[in-house]
Each structure stands twice: as structure tokens, then as C-alpha cells.
């Protein structure tokens, strides 16, 4: 699974990145996690507000830090699709 956190490095972007690592560790899921900070790369996903979360090329969240429960649900769904 390929996960990208899109954002400049603001507090919310860093919070989302940490939550992703926490969920992956708690659920024992192996994934590649990248924090994309370059504005051109962020816009290439069609994202206009950050933080955003992209899993396997699909934007899952944009402009919001989801609850940990919702983040876990989205990551678990993606892991099942595999």
C-alpha cells in the first residue's frame, strides 16, 4: 500500500502523518508513507486544501484531519483491497 500525506508541513499535516503511522502500527499493516510538501505535486492530485491523504493514488481526505476511527476505517479498507 502506498500512502501519501499532502501538505506543507503545517501542524495539521504533521498530525495526520503521525496518525497514519500510529494506525499502521496498531493494525500491523505494512505501507510506504511519504509526506509530499511540494505544491506542484500536491496540486497534481487535484487537492486545493491540505492536509490531504492519498492511498494508492486515490484522494481519501482533503482539507481535514479525520478522526482516528475514520482514518483506521479507510486504511483497513485499502489494506483489504490489497
Question: Residue 10 catalytic?
Answer: yes
Q: Which of 3, 5, 6, 13 is catalytic?
A: 13
Q: Which of 2, 9, 10, 68 is catalytic?
A: 10
Q: What's the grid cell of residue 28?
A: 500491523
First CA to last CA distance, the chain:
7
Report helix, strand or coil for 46.
Answer: coil
Active site residues: 10, 13
Amino acid at each position: 500500500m502506498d500512502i501519501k500525506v499532502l501538505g506543507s508541513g503545517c501542524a495539521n499535516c504533521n498530525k495526520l502523518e503521525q496518525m497514519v503511522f500510529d494506525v499502521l502500527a496498531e493494525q500491523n499493516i505494512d505501507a510506504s508513507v511519504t509526506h509530499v510538501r511540494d505544491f506542484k505535486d500536491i496540486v497534481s492530485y487535484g487537492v486545493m486544501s491540505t492536509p490531504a491523504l492519498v492511498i494508492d493514488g486515490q484522494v481519501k481526505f482533503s482539507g481535514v484531519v479525520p478522526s482516528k476511527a475514520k482514518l483506521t476505517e479507510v486504511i483497513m479498507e485499502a489494506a483489504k483491497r490489497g
